[in-house]
Amino acid sequence: MYRITPQLSEKIKHFATFPQTGVSLRQMVMFGQNPTQGTLFKASQFLSEELPIRLALRVKELEELPHNLSEMPSIVRVKNWYAQSFQDIVEFPSREMTPVLKEITKSMNKQADMQALPENSPNLAMPNGNVGRKGVSLSHRYHSAMDGAEWPAEMHTYNEKFTKMIEAVKRRHDPVVTTVAQGILEFKQAKMSHVVDTDVQAFLDRFYMSRIGIRMLIGQHMALNKGPSRKDYVGIICTKTNLADMAQEAIDNAKFICEDYYGLFRGPEVHLHCKKDLEFMYVPSHLSHMLFELLKNSLRAVVEQYGTECEDYPPIKLIVAQGKEDIAIKISDEGGGIPRSGVPLVWTYMYTTAPSQNLDPTFDKSDFKAPMAGFGYGLPISRLYARYFGGDLKLISMEGYGTDVYLHLNRISNKMDQAVFQALTDTLSSDTNIRLTAELRLKELQVNSEFPVSLIRLALARECNVSQRHSAAVLLKNYVDTQWSEKSAKFCGPEPPAETKRIVREMVLTGLSDLTNRIRSACAYVVSKIAHHDWPEQWTNLLDVLVHHLKNGSADEVHGSMRVLTEFVNKDITHAQLPLVAPVLFPELLRILISEQLYSHATRSRCASIFRNAVEMLYTIKEEHPETVKQYLTPIIGNWNEAFIIALHKRTADNPEVEVGEWGLKTEVLKCINLAIQGFPKLMAPYLLQVFVPVWQDILHLRPRYLSQHVNTSDNTGESFQDSDGETIGFESLLFTQFEFVQMACRRRKLTQSAFIGEDGKSGILPELVWNTLNYMQMTDDQAETWVFDPNQFIADEEDDSYSFNVRIAAEDLLTTLAENFEVETLNALNLSVKQEVSSSLNEKAAGNVNWWKAQESSLLAVGIFAGDLSETIKSGSQTSVDVGALFDHVILGNLSEHDFPFLQGRSFVFASQFASILPANLASQYVTAAVEAIMKSPSAVVKVSALKALNNFNQYLDKQYIAPHQRPILQGIAPMIEITTEETLSLILRTLVSTSKINEQVTAEFEATLGPLVLDSWVKYPADHLISMDIMDFFDTLAANQPIYPALNARAMPILVNMISAANPDKARVSSAIDLLKSLVQGGPSPLPPNYVTQFFHNLMSVLLTTDDRGILQSGQECLTIVVQKDVRQIAAWRDAASGKGGLELIIQFIAKLLDPSQTESAALYVGDLISKLIKKGADLVSPILPDLLNAVTLRLAEAKLPTFIQPLVMVFAQLCLNQYEVVINFLGGLNINGRNGLDIVMSAWLANHTDFTGVYNQKVSAVALTKVFMSADPRIAAVQVEGDLIVPHSSRIVTRSRSKNTPDQFTITTVPIKIIRLLSTDLTNKIEEEENQAADSDYEDDDGDDDLEDDDDDRSREQFSYLSDIMDSHGLDMEDDKEEEADPDILVDPIYQLNMKTYLVDFFRQCVQQNSPAFAQSVAELSDVERRTLSSLLA
């Protein structure tokens, strides 16, 4: 018996590292048309290099089969045959090559007129394309231009010997199919299973497809060497294969076998319908095999359906049709059909509906007298033959009647196919010129209507290499993007004809069953792209085909269809189409999900993913279409959840690949469950605890592995696996979804309280869950390594608003959620866990474990999360659940000296600062001192930045008396760090400098020589970073507001800023930023400004503002001028431009006119109203001559204004004037006419429509008080103005789309100004009273215990929204940024209106109206609704 020696085994492994080279049918025909001894010799050289690679790859795969299949005796026998053939071929050249032939070989390699095969291509039979080492090339060449030379006799001898040798190899491999079948039978008997696993099925497909390729190469070479070919033949390829003749021959052979097997005098007739002259290029032996096997199946079915005694069998029909892209053969029988449940199984090997035959390992499958049936190989092997040249084989059966089989044969290409093939091949060339020329050629070809058909033919042509096929599919995807439909956003035309589209649609679907994952995936993307344009109108059968694949297809077809459906459900199916999709799709997805023996984890994962997309769509429409949820989700959610729970309970421990596949499946399942809980909590409520059990078990199970593979090792040994889509799966993604689920369960206390804390509040899993969470919060070795190398990343990842997400952050979120819902229990559990972790870490430290510190660091991180609440509890004198004092006494102080463990030392600094508000005086000073010393002396950047964060907290929470002594050392230590830092660290340093500089202005002033250049240099260095620019601006504002430092800072900064503010400066962003700094500098100065202060910058500033259209510069300029006017309007008025002679106020008015011009955008003129108001207030006497023109321009712009943020400051111009001069304002506006509209109409309409949206406490008060003045004027012109009243709510049930909303804008009732004012002020009063009541109730407010957490609209998204709204309510509905600006404006702070109590003021106003009983008030109240009148009465009671 042949045995593989160790030396041969090593050589096989070596050859298996090379990729195989594809040889297309076209190349074989081109090569073989005029063969010579020279070309045949070179072809033998190619085969002597190529065949060993293919054989070695098969030996390697046979050795690595799953489930111990490699150990089956018959499989071992086949492996030995392949190894023996490998040895025969690799040893042949060295044995037979003579010196003359070696010299000829060298000269051939130098010839320039030879035709080369493509570059090394991925192995079609391997799942991941190229295998083994990259960059290895054998320079395979296959030549056809070698005639005209005389070849020595030695060459003829060599060719003959080589041909005999590979002929022997071919004979040796004749029984491979039946021997492998015997091996599978042995395997099934060993497993006691009747079904072949999907991974074994996939192996057999690859193995037999590779065998077809090997035998094709050998058979072609043998035929060419045996002398002149038969007419119309090139080797074994017939250029004019006559289909009628081939079909008739197959019919005769199949009938003979049938009649012989069953002992029939006359078997069923086969009626052939085929044109006699139908010819195409093909391999007759392949076609004969397929037709024979299919006819044999039909004959057997008919005979066994009607019995051997039947005298008149129903005939079998064989119909051949010629299409543009392929030839289709249909074989129809009335043999009773196949049960629907059995259709998917007919494509599996060793499955047969006939009695099983005993397999003889010595049986030669090519023997004519083959068994009638029983191997279960006929259909799967026939389908591989069809697919090898880009065709396919389909089966449709009607149980109780019969079966139709469709054989699609890809026609060998036309001229367009050849051109596309050549151009695509050239695009893969390493020669730049060839590649560029090919790309241009493809652009020329793509305007031809046949171009997309050629692309899909090439993509499906399995005889081409994968790189060419994949390139064709990708190019087709791009073609669909740009030329398929004029509705596409990327359309550039021309659009292909409808017939071309039909052909491509039909052909691309066959790519979903391709054996190569890359091609299958690429075709799926093409299908999705086309479906986006054509489904359902032009591609009515798409969904039927996809669902048919799911029901009856192979594992490859299921996977390909899944790829399409993922995109399909996510992007193209709407609620209107759901009734067409859900009933047929959801059951099949569920069937695949639960069929773990038939489908891979990746395919089953995609089922969960597709279902999740459908659930998300239902969630988005449930408010408008609740009936859709009840109809399509409610009836099936139970079955899906049961399947999900089964999947979650699976846990494989002895097979890493299977285990990782389970992780991927569980991840997708939990994503779906989490979304369903979020969107449909009532439907999911019964399943929460059932899901919780396996999730909790996995969290426990994965913790030791997470610690060993990520926390306590640096060799990255964690398992990961690429699924069928090339996506890497690890258990970290699973942990994310598990933690998210636990958080959702935690928020639904009424359902899950028993799991977390038990019925008695003490026996739940919470203590163990908190301890596990601390473990998952430990820093990984990868994080530690990254953060030591890059402290900026350390800061970014540790920030609360970090963009990073990892298990550590996910665990922090989980712990926070636990505390939000089970506060007392969580903190008690945290206290116990921290004690346990600290104790165990000290033991690990004593034992010499270098990672001992990680448990302590995560414990301090966890306690620090609750520092605010714990500090408040301690300050109130209550006992805290967490023993913070013990941590300070026994952990923190000692950790500050752990210089060898910088992360622990740094965490201890931050921890101490988080509790700064409760630190005793001696400890506070001690920690501050330690932090300053760390900044000054620590060699670790991690410790330095941690100390910086600590100082920030100390500045925020600690009494300044403890920080003040250290202000100088802090400034001395921090400032030099800027020179060696980058973005994230710089931001932290700047924030620390801001807080430190505010401690003592005099001390800060001592460092002007350092801090001034520092802030200006930073500003110059980081012009484009918005976040850092904000920090720089804050620091500059702090320094500019420091009176002792101001003169020196102004002298240093002003020349730099003035030089930057120039019309010649092309850097618009830098100019805008310089104006912002100038505004800060002016704002920090005295009022009035020093003499000639404005002269330093005013010319440059106005030159820029009057010539630019840059929005940022214009906005910054308005704000800056507003501050300058506020500080010293008189100095502006005194300034004169030397060149034009214009005064400063004249230029400002010119600038205002530019902004109020209707051609200017509203966003660019956003603050012009503030500038005008400030100008009127500070320089009333100076602007009084032009005030009417100014107000006229404001009114004109207000008439067309749209943005509320633009309208408010313009309205405030009039509101401010109304406070003291309302009669003058009313008279002015009453006499104003703007394009046919009265000025009062324009201003009051804009004012009253936007009053409720005004931001800023001061602006709201000014608006309300001014409206009372307007109302009390009782001016009949005011009463005559009509404005918008209430919104008219349409009663239509139609969905309001964007386009419909645009075409039908909101409509309002019409009312008068007095009535509108009363309504608005009544609403204001109601809001003020509610504000006071809410503030009073805040201290008594207790969170709801979750009674409503089962409501469908009470999901996590709405929780986030409510949280945000509550934040707004807590701030009394105000824009906090506007409040800050108001507080910085001294004019506002001294204005009595700012101090006004609006509740009291409005109550007095309404009571005054009642007492006066004015007709205007009585009429206004009469126009109010009953509800509004009752509300107003109750408010005044």
Positions marked catalytic: 289, 293, 296-297
Cβ pair 652, 670 in contact under 8 A: no
Nearest C-alpha neighbor of 1279 from the set 1125, 1415, 1426: 1415
How far is residue 1211's CA from residue 1215's CA, in Å, rounded to a whole number? 6
Alpha carbon of residue 488 to chain centroid: 22
Residues linked to residue 937 through DSSP beta bridges, in sequence order? none
Question: In sequence order, what DSSP letters do the residues of 1002-1054 get, joined into one string?
Answer: HHHHTTHHHHHHHHHHHHHH-SS-HHHHHHHHHHHHHHHT-TTTHHHHHHHHH
Q: What is the token pair recorded at 226?
A: 């045996």
Cβ pair 522, 514 in contact under 8 A: no
Nearest C-alpha neighbor of 362 from the set 543, 521, 171: 171
Alpha carbon of residue 1331 to chain centroid: 42
How far is residue 16's CA from residue 1188's CA, in Å, rounded to a whole number? 91
Q: What is the token pair recorded at 1229?
A: 């506006």
Cβ pair 365, 388 in contact under 8 A: no
The beta strands (E) that lie in 399-437 are given as: 402-410
CA trace torsion 152, 154, 157, 163 (10° rounding): -90
What is the identity of the amino acid at 1422? Answer: A
Sign, Cα dihedral of 31, 36, 42, 46: positive
Cβ pair 602, 558 in contact under 8 A: no
Omega cis (within 30) before 1086: no
Reported for 1355-1363, long-range contacts at CB under 8 A and 24+ positions apart, including other chains, are 1355/677, 1355/678, 1355/679, 1355/681, 1356/678, 1356/744, 1356/747, 1357/678, 1359/747
Cβ pair 92, 162 in contact under 8 A: yes
Exposure class string for 687-713: b at 16+ Cβ within 10 A, else e: bbeebbebbbebbeebbeebbebbbbe
3-state secondary structure of 1098: helix
Cβ pair 1287, 1308 in contact under 8 A: yes
Helices H, strands E: what count in the chain?
A: 66, 14
DSSP 194: S
Instruction: Give the number of other Cβ atoms within 10 Å of residue 796's Cβ.
Output: 18
Question: What pairing do the DSSP bridges indicate for beta strands 402-410 and 326-333?
Answer: antiparallel
Exposure class string for 97-114: b at 16+ Cβ within 10 A, else e: beeebeebeeebeeeeeb
Sign, Cα dihedral of 201, 202, 203, 205: positive
| Burial bucket for residue 1294 (CB in 10 Å: 0-12, 13-18, 19+) | exposed
Q: What is the token pair recorded at 1078?
A: 């100038």
3-state secondary structure of 1285: strand
Residue at token pair 């049986």: 363
Terminus-to-terminus CA distance in the chain, angstroms?
A: 110
